[in-house]
């Protein structure tokens, strides 16, 4: 697929919030396995943190897709959603995920996340 100049890949992912909620309830250690402390601290005060967690999970999947990779290409703690002072979401990419990005010539990421009570969506552009 040909992208505009500078774009190395685009990824999008959608997560069914109720299905994700069921998975979290069924596997209590899943939150710590999937999310870094910064993300958990951000969602903890929310009345219902699950939609926000689902959006953060979708962001990881969207990063993999933007790099043309599948699940398991890197660890869940190697990519996470961080918040800028403005509140805008951004990506932190480290470890094996960063190595794979460098191999693909990716030096910049753009992230958009959103959720409703039923679905969480993330879109990622890799430059």
User: DSSP assignment of 32-58, as one string?
Assistant: HHH--HHHHHHHTTSS--HHHHHHHHH
Give every CB contact of residue 88 below 8 A, 6+ residues apart in sequence. none
pLDDT of 10 reads: 97
Cα separation, 123 vs 48, in Å, equals 22
On average, the pLDDT of the chain sits at 95
pLDDT of 62 reads: 97
pLDDT of 4 reads: 76
**Over the stretch 30-89, which tens digit does the pLDDT of each residue have?**
999 999 999 999 999 999 999 999 999 999 999 999 999 988 889 999 999 999 889 899
**Over the stretch 2-35, which tens digit does the pLDDT of each residue have?**
777 889 999 999 999 999 999 999 998 999 999 9
pLDDT of 59 reads: 97
pLDDT surpassing 90 at residue 1: no
Q: Domain limits of the chain? A: 9-126
pLDDT of 40 reads: 97
Provide CATH code, domain 9-126: 3.90.470.20
pLDDT of 34 reads: 97
């Amino acid at each position: 697929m040909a992208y505009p100049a500078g774009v190395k890949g685009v990824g999008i992912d959608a997560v069914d919030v109720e299905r994700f909620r069921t998975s979290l309830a069924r596997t209590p250690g899943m939150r710590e396995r999937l999310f870094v402390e910064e993300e958990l601290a951000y969602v903890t005060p929310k009345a219902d943190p699950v939609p926000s967690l689902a959006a953060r999970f979708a962001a990881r999947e969207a990063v993999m897709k933007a790099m043309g990779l599948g699940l398991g290409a890197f660890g869940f703690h190697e990519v996470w959603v961080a918040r800028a002072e403005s509140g805008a979401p951004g990506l932190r990419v480290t470890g094996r995920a960063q190595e794979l990005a460098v191999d693909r010539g990716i030096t910049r990421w753009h992230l958009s996340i959103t959720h409703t009570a039923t679905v969480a969506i993330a879109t990622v552009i890799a430059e």
